[in-house]
């Protein structure tokens, strides 16, 4: 593709990205190599890793990883055995060691091989020579992130200022409660861009639009993240499960969102599957509450969130068809309402230029 498509653009004159970026297979692979691998990927929350031996499995752009409480801290590894590539765990759980599910090679929690069935008959085989390669990891506000590539900013720089801004909310004190996953027929960037603007609210989410004050909807941009907010209106109305307060919507480049509302935090991860499909993971976190109060909150929340999500899925899948139609050429962005989309596209352009 002509590299001039990836020159930096000013918001006032910005156009969206070319359709190929959303439909082309080679681009999907490029996204994985230059964007996803060289960024912090949300993998777990400390409430899932409280005890020694607790582990969480995850996949980032098809790459299997495992995050473990080793007793000395939290470490991340490829979930790939050194023998013939088997998985050390198939699901989240707790175990004293990590035993490969294929032939039973058994690793200490720190990744060092401990034993391997019948391998003592091999000349020169020594368990000390085999260790799982570690993946760089870091923790912010209780969330455990991994970075598969080397070209990543500091995690603290990506989330700079957010912890101070959301005080007194402290997400490290919340508890992981449930996960919803959606396979969506659109490129991962279509879903991200839809998240990054409130321009579509009146048209796609008339119900949500009643709760939020569209006129006051604002977007602020930082180097690696953007922030959207709107006061919650009509707190007294029956279908508002959130109570009064402010809704904070944070997006951290390239594919992580934190939706922070009173008494509820939801993280979203948008993971590419291929050029025209992505997986979106919603994880819900709540403060430590009595079980009945928590159950009520979750139920209200699920009903409301599911409606908004199905509206977003519908429009994103339609947009994907639009990009794949062969008719689309880059259109101008709305400077007032789409600065978050522009911010994301500028970070992408910069990654594509390098």
283: β partners: 179, 267
Nearer to ligand FES, 38 or 95 (CB): 95
Burial 179-196 (b: 16+ CB within 10 A, else e): eeebebebbbbbbbbbbb
Q: How many residues bind ligand FES (CB under 6 A)?
A: 10
Under the criterion CB under 6 A, does residue 84 sit at the interface with ligand FES?
Answer: yes
Given ligand FES, Fe ion, none, residue 84, with its beta carbon under 5 to 8 Å by kind, binds ligand FES
Nearer to ligand FES, 107 or 176 (CB): 107
Under the criterion CB under 6 A, does residue 125 sit at the interface with ligand FES?
Answer: no
Report angle CA 24, 25, 27 to the nearest 5 degrees. 70
Given ligand FES, Fe ion, none, residue 81, with its beta carbon under 5 to 8 Å by kind, binds ligand FES
Quote the CA–CA distance of 137 and 155 in Å, as a whole number: 9
Quote the CA–CA distance of 95 and 120 in Å, as a whole number: 25
Quote the CA–CA distance of 7 and 314 in Å, as a whole number: 31
* Contact partners, residue 330, CB within 8 Å, separation at least 6: 5, 15, 16, 17, 18, 19
Nearer to ligand FES, 83 or 222 (CB): 83
Given Fe ion, ligand FES, none, residue 193, with its beta carbon under 5 to 8 Å by kind, binds none
Given ligand FES, Fe ion, none, residue 178, with its beta carbon under 5 to 8 Å by kind, binds none
Quote the CA–CA distance of 262 and 115 in Å, as a whole number: 49
- Site map 256..295 versus Fe ion, x via CB under 5 A: ----------------------------------------
Smallest distance, ligand FES to C-beta of residue 148, A? 21
Under the criterion CB under 6 A, does residue 102 sit at the interface with ligand FES?
Answer: yes
138: β partners: 145
* Contact partners, residue 73, CB within 8 Å, separation at least 6: none
**Contact with ligand FES (CB under 6 A): which of 81, 190, 297, 316?**
81
Smallest distance, ligand FES to C-beta of residue 88, A? 8
Helices assigned H by DSSP within 15-73: 20-23, 25-30
Quote the CA–CA distance of 221 and 240 in Å, as a whole number: 28
**Contact with Fe ion (CB under 5 A): which of 283, 301, 312, 338?**
312
Given ligand FES, Fe ion, none, residue 125, with its beta carbon under 5 to 8 Å by kind, binds none
Nearer to ligand FES, 133 or 331 (CB): 133
Given Fe ion, ligand FES, none, residue 262, with its beta carbon under 5 to 8 Å by kind, binds none
Quote the CA–CA distance of 160 and 338 in Å, as a whole number: 22
Which has the closest alpha carbon to 97: 89, 241, 271? 89
- Cα separation values, 295 from 24, 284, 302, 317, Å: 43, 12, 11, 32
- Supply 44's token pair: 């777990």
Three-state DSSP class for residue 188: helix
Under the criterion CB under 6 A, does residue 103 sit at the interface with ligand FES?
Answer: yes
Which among 97-105, 159-167, 196-204, 316-324 is the span making contact with ligand FES, rule CB under 6 A?
Answer: 97-105
Under the criterion CB under 6 A, does residue 158 sit at the interface with ligand FES?
Answer: no
- Identify whether the C-beta of residue 166 lies closer than 8 Å to the C-beta of residue 173: no
Given ligand FES, Fe ion, none, residue 312, with its beta carbon under 5 to 8 Å by kind, binds Fe ion
Residue nearest to Fe ion (CB): 312
Chain contacts with ligand FES (rule: CB under 6 A): 81, 83-86, 100, 102-105
By the criterion CB under 5 A, which residues form the site for Fe ion? 312
């Amino acid at each position: 593709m002509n590299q001039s498509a990836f020159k930096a653009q000013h918001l006032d004159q910005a156009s969206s990205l070319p359709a190929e970026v959303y439909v082309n297979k080679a681009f999907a692979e490029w996204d994985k190599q230059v964007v996803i691998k060289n960024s912090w990927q949300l993998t777990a929350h400390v409430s899932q890793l409280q005890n020694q031996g607790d582990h969480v499995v995850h996949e980032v752009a098809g790459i299997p990883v495992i995050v473990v409480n080793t007793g000395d801290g939290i470490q991340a590894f490829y979930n790939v055995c050194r023998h013939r590539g088997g998985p050390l765990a198939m699901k989240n759980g707790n175990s004293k060691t990590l035993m490969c599910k294929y032939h039973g090679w058994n690793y200490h929690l720190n990744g060092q091989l401990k034993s391997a069935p019948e391998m003592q008959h091999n000349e020169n085989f020594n368990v000390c020579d085999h260790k799982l390669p570690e993946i760089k990891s870091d923790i912010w506000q209780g969330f455990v992130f991994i970075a598969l590539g080397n070209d990543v900013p500091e995690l603290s720089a990506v989330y700079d200022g957010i912890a101070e801004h959301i005080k007194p909310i402290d997400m490290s004190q919340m508890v992981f409660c449930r996960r919803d996953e959606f396979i969506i027929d659109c490129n991962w960037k279509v879903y991200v861009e839809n998240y990054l603007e409130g321009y579509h609210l009146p048209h796609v989410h008339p119900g949500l639009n009643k709760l939020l004050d569209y006129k006051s909807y604002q977007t602020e941009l930082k180097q690696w993240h953007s922030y959207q907010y709107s006061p919650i209106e009509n707190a007294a109305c029956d279908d508002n499960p959130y109570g009064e307060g402010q809704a904070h919507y944070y997006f951290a480049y390239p594919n992580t969102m934190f939706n922070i509302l009173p008494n509820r935090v939801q993280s979203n991860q948008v993971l590419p599957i291929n050029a025209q499909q992505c997986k979106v993971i919603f994880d819900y976190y709540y403060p430590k509450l009595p079980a009945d109060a928590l159950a009520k909150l979750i139920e209200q929340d699920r009903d409301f969130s599911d409606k908004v999500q199905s509206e977003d899925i519908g429009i994103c899948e339609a947009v994907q068809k639009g990009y794949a139609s062969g008719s689309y050429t880059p259109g101008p962005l709305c400077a007032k309402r789409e600065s978050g989309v522009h911010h994301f596209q500028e970070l992408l352009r910069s990654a594509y230029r390098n």
